[in-house]
Amino acid sequence: MEEPCEVHMRNLIIIGASGLLGSELIKLFPDAIYTYNSTEIKNKNAYRLDITDQESLIFSLKKFDIRDIIFTSALTDVDKCEIYPDLAYKINADPFKYITKYLKRINGRLIQISTDYVFSGEQGNYSEEDLREPINVYGRSKKEAEDIILDSGIEYAIIRTSGIFGINRATGKTNFFLWIYNNLKENKEIYLVRDQYYSPTLNSILARAIREIYDREISGIIHFSSLDKISRLNFGYIVADIFGFDKNLIKETEMKDMKWKAKRPKDSSLNNEKAKRLLNEKPVSVIDEIKLIRGFLNGKD
Ligand code: NDP
């Protein structure tokens, strides 16, 4: 980590603030310390940190006298995880070995973002207590992170979510919504999978839920996504519908025809009953998420 020019008195660090979710968290936690790795954040509270570098990681936590950590960093490219399993574990699981030790010593707190991919996808509508049986390296590495946290005895919230999307590019890449939106806007044909179901989650709504979980010091595992179980194909139809794009541009395909390196769960949709009961920030439907995005984009144009 680069040497900071001043010592911050704040004690919350958001690790992975340059990501799709992290970039929304920055807006809601203006006083935190932020870290990025390869995608520079232009902010006076932002520092470069490679979480695979154990020494730098612990140095940074000590340097800023960190008490609370919101950890969103991950190798989220599911196929890349399958090709480079060592790297997947190094980024997605190993840092928690050191972080939990640090937090235990100072009685600190961790909010970790986990995934619907810890489930096999055979059942769908997964609740917090359901059996985790990941079917790819990404899911297994995220499950290992959960296990390290669960065994550590620290104060934690593990927030499992599904298919994060937003209007912003992050870490130099597009996301599923933006890819559909940009292609349909330019009248380009796209192929969407009709037999893979999940609960797509708008990054800004998830960020607000995290803010509430942080403020109210809610602990335990909590699922937070959209309320729906929806296929990639139907997600595309909703985008087309709400933005008035030509639906005929959307062509159907199936999981078996995708040239993926890693297996995907067939139905990793999440059950949000706990979040609905506990939080003031309620999960919403995919239609409401996309309408919200339409509002953002109209405001932008
Ligand atoms: P992104 O892929 O958008 O961002 C990943 C973040 O991790 C970036 O800030 C990136 O930094 C950082 N990162 C990657 N490698 C390193 C490293 N070696 N050292 C430090 N930082 C690193 O992820 P999302 O915002 O989409 O995901 C946030 C969390 O939610 C993740 O934990 C993910 O597992 C989980 N999740 C994501 C889902 C999704 O659909 N995206 C679905 C379910 C859960 P930089 O870009 O600067 O290199």
Is 188 part of any domain? no
End-to-end CA distance of the chain: 38
* Residue range 228-249: mean pLDDT, rounded: 98
- 185 contacts 240 by C-beta, under 8 angstroms: no
Is 238 part of any domain? no
What is the reported pTM? 0.96
- 64 contacts 20 by C-beta, under 8 angstroms: no
3-state secondary structure of 301: coil
Distance from the CA of 18 to the center of ligand 1, in angstroms?
8
* Residue range 138-145: mean pLDDT, rounded: 98
From the CA of 164, give the closest atom in ligand 1.
40
Distance from the CA of 226 to the center of ligand 1, in angstroms?
19
Name the one residue in this structure whose structure tokens are 């890819």.
Answer: 179
Q: pLDDT digits over 165-195, tens only?
A: 999 877 777 899 999 999 999 999 999 999 9
Give DSSP secondary structure letters for 29-96.
-TTSEEEESSS---STTEEE--TT-HHHHHHHHHHTT--EEEE------HHHHHH-HHHHHHHHTTHH
Dihedral angle of Cα 199, 203, 204, 207, to the nearest 10 degrees: 100
Please report which helix (H) or strand (E) contains residue 113, including its range: strand 109-115
Give the per-residue pLDDT at 301.
47
C-alpha span between 247 and 236 (Å, rounded): 8
Distance from the CA of 7 to the center of ligand 1, in angstroms?
26
Give the per-residue pLDDT at 2.
52
Q: What is the mean pLDDT of the chain?
A: 95
Is 301 part of any domain? no
Q: Which domain holds residue 126?
A: 12-174+198-227+268-285
Distance from the CA of 72 to the center of ligand 1, in angstroms?
6
Q: Of 71 and 299, which is predicted with more confidence?
A: 71
Sequence-distant (6+) residues with CB within 8 A of 107 are 67, 155
Distance from the CA of 246 to the center of ligand 1, in angstroms?
32
pLDDT at 10 over 90: no
Q: Which pLDDT band, with edges at 50, 70 and 90, does 300 fall under?
A: low
Nearest CA to ligand 1 atom 23: 19
Nearest CA to ligand 1 atom 29: 72
Please report which helix (H) or strand (E) contains residue 193, including its range: strand 190-193
Distance from the CA of 17 to the center of ligand 1, in angstroms?
8
Is 233 part of any domain? no
| Percentage of the residues of the chain whose pLDDT score is greater than 70 | 96
Distance from the CA of 19 to the center of ligand 1, in angstroms?
5
CATH of the domain at 26: 3.40.50.720
DSSP class of residue 107 equals: T
Task: With both helix axes pointing from N to C terminus, report the angle between 232-243 and 286-300 in degrees, rounded to the nearest 10.
Answer: 40
Is 2 part of any domain? no
Domain tally, the chain: 1
Is 129 part of any domain? yes
Give the per-residue pLDDT at 174.
86
**Pocket probe mutation, ligand 1, options 72, 75, 138, 268, max atoms within 8 Å of Cβ:** 72
Is 279 part of any domain? yes
**Pocket probe mutation, ligand 1, options 23, 49, 73, 158, max atoms within 8 Å of Cβ:** 73
Nearest CA to ligand 1 atom 7: 73
| Structure-token pair, residue 282 | 């309620």
pLDDT at 270 over 50: yes
Task: Give the pocket of ligand 1 (CB within 6 Å).
Answer: 16, 18-22, 36-39, 49-52, 72-76, 91, 113, 115-116, 142, 161-164, 170-171
Is 275 part of any domain? yes
C-alpha span between 142 and 288 (Å, rounded): 29
Dihedral angle of Cα 85, 90, 95, 101, to the nearest 10 degrees: 90
From the CA of 71, give the closest atom in ligand 1.
32
